[in-house]
Amino acid sequence: MSVALLWVVTPHFEASTGTGFLVSVRKGNRLFDSSRIFSRDRNVPCKVRVMKRGKQKLSVSSLNAELDSSCIGASGLERGSKFSVLSSLVVTPADNLFMTSKQKVYDVVLKQAALLQRQLGTKEDIEVKPDFVLPGPLGLLDEAYERCREVCAEYAKTFYLGTLLMTPERRKAIWAIYVWCRRTDELVDGPNASHITPTALDRWETRLEDIFIVRPFDMLDAALSDTVSRFPIDIQPFRDMIEGMRMDLRKSRYKNFDELYLYCYYVAGTVGLMSVPVMGIAPESRATTESVYNAALALGIANQLTNILRDVGEDARRGRIYLPQDELAQSGLSEEDIFAGKVTEKWRHFMKKQIIRARKFFDEAENGVTELSSASRWPVWASLLLYRQILDEIEANDYNNFTRRAYVSKSKKILALPAAYFKSVIPPTRLPSPLVKA
Ligand SMILES: CC(C)=CCC/C(C)=C/CC/C(C)=C/CC/C(C)=C/[C@@H]1[C@@H](COP(=O)(O)OP(=O)(O)O)[C@]1(C)CC/C=C(\C)CC/C=C(\C)CCC=C(C)C
């Protein structure tokens, strides 16, 4: 597996051509030469050395190698960047001040659904653009997607197997989105997290904007540039995920569920919104686009809540408590109880309520999976069933999520696959349902 290692001398850059990074990529009627990847300011050159590594297992640090240079800067020092942060959900007009997080996020869902409908006309139009014709022995874009595939296969084995069930165009797009999400998450959760500052995240956001105007920084970004030009994907969920990382930098406590919900939207609900335009809605579905987006959002929230409940002990050891403070207090629990990590009756009672809530989000998501295009349903069902089982495992561990990590065994994972398959062959509902247009 070859991984490009990039050293960036300044935040502006132009790739050197030393190592055969030299295939032109056709983008609609435009051609861009990926060996010469330009910064926003085309007059400011910056050297990027591209070095191929021999076949080796990808590691967290190899993924980060590329991130370090572009986000932290070669020295890891702040550079007083002039990059601006563009607005996303966080820009709240005065009359939004009293809205709950759910209402604010629902506004995003409505906007995303409207954008998708506007871009596609009708759902029957969902068709990806044809493949680019690439010169060279192995198209640069093919190589870019191949790297995304490798990262995905390495980091998310079960999920990767699920993507193999999708159509080739869709699976490539999901890999590219996955890699971008993973890298974004690594910024605050990876080995270099201590070097990450809000300015570094601003740079990452500038780099995201470049992806959307097809000026990718590296190969993995090039795959996403291609994906977002083929599918009707909007930038906002991506921006919002970066906002979630900012939140992670500045916040380690959540007053109530409203605050936590917003965090879960940023870091995981956004993944659902990014994925729907790729997964596609079944042409025969009678569900509204916004209801499908809402279900996708619910699956992201459910996954993240599950993740938080599974990792209570691990997070506490990093000084983080994602659980709503007011609900902890209502159950007679304090921060000290979390740090002490003792499973008490109060804790069990608190956890039972949290699990009920997470399951409700999974239930909400279920209705939407059936409305997805047929080839996308199996992997989504599989991921839903597998992630939901983590909640069962927490129960099976008698709610000891302080010192025991709930995980789904291989045999249970294998059993979930046929179950997911049978669910996925159920066609979209033709009967009136809460998801169906009036
Ligand atoms: C088929 C499918 C599931 C597609 C989504 C693929 C995709 C782009 C995944 C990106 C995941 C990612 C790396 C997110 C970064 C932030 C993060 C780490 C979120 C947590 C994921 C778990 O990751 P982690 O590797 O840390 O987990 P483990 O420790 O290994 O357990 C999250 C908990 C959130 C992930 C959220 C989703 C996968 C959203 C799923 C929603 C959809 C795919 C929409 C489906 C559509 C409908 C209508 C229901």
Q: In this structure, are strands 47-52 and 4-8 parallel, antiparallel, or unpaired?
A: antiparallel
Q: Which atom of ligand 1 is nearest to the CA of 298?
A: 49
Reported as a single tens digit per residue, the pLDDT across 391-401 is: 999 999 999 99
Q: What angle do CA 236, 239, 245 make, to 5 degrees?
A: 145
Q: What is the pLDDT of residue 159?
A: 82
Using the mean position of ligand 1's atoms as its centre, give its distance from the Cα of residue 182 in Å.
9
The CATH superfamily label for domain 4-36+49-424 reads: Farnesyl Diphosphate Synthase (1.10.600.10)
Query: Domain boundaries in the chain?
Result: 4-36+49-424
Residue partners of 129: CB distance under 8 A and separation at least 6: 229, 230
Q: What is the pLDDT of residue 158?
A: 76
The closest of 272, 222, 271 to 242, measured between CA atoms, is: 271
Q: What is the pLDDT of residue 125?
A: 43
Name the one residue in this structure whose structure tokens are 């999976």.
369
pLDDT band at 183 (very low <50, low <70, confident <90, very high): very high
Using the mean position of ligand 1's atoms as its centre, give its distance from the Cα of residue 159 in Å.
9
Question: CA dihedral in degrees (10, 16, 21, 25; nearest 10)?
Answer: 80
Q: Does the pLDDT at position 52 exceed 90?
A: no
Mean pLDDT, the chain, rounded, equals 79
Segments of 145-259 assigned E as strands? 253-254
pLDDT band at 53 (very low <50, low <70, confident <90, very high): very low
Q: Which atom of ligand 1 is nearest to the CA of 292?
A: 48
pLDDT band at 213 (very low <50, low <70, confident <90, very high): very high
Reported as a single tens digit per residue, the pLDDT across 85-97 is: 334 555 455 656 7
Q: What is the pLDDT of residue 157?
A: 82
Span of 189-193, 300-304, 382-386 with lowest mean pLDDT: 189-193
Question: CA dihedral in degrees (61, 66, 68, 71; nearest 10)?
Answer: -140
Q: Which atom of ligand 1 is nearest to the CA of 293?
A: 48
Using the mean position of ligand 1's atoms as its centre, give its distance from the Cα of residue 1 in Å.
24
Residue nearest to atom 30 of ligand 1 (CA): 156
Tokens coding 400: 């000891």
Reported as a single tens digit per residue, the pLDDT across 326-380 is: 999 999 999 999 999 999 999 999 999 999 999 999 999 999 999 999 989 999 9
> How many residues are there in the chain?
438
SS (H, E, C) 9-59: CCCCCEECCCCCCCCEEEECCEEEECCCCECCCCCCCCEEEEEECCCCCCC
Does the Cβ of 424 fall within 6 Å of ligand 1? Answer: no
What is the SS3 assignment for 234?
coil
Whether the CB-CB separation of 50 and 56 falls below 8 Å is answered with: no
pLDDT band at 161 (very low <50, low <70, confident <90, very high): confident
Does the Cβ of 268 fall within 6 Å of ligand 1? Answer: yes
Tokens coding 186: 């690594």
Reported as a single tens digit per residue, the pLDDT across 8-26 is: 222 232 222 222 222 222 2
Using the mean position of ligand 1's atoms as its centre, give its distance from the Cα of residue 63 in Å.
18
Q: How far apart are CA 35 and CA 51, in angstroms?
A: 13
Reported as a single tens digit per residue, the pLDDT across 418-430 is: 999 999 999 897 6
How far the first Cα of the chain sits from its last, in Å, is 51
Using the mean position of ligand 1's atoms as its centre, give its distance from the Cα of residue 3 in Å.
24
The closest of 381, 387, 396 to 165, measured between CA atoms, is: 381
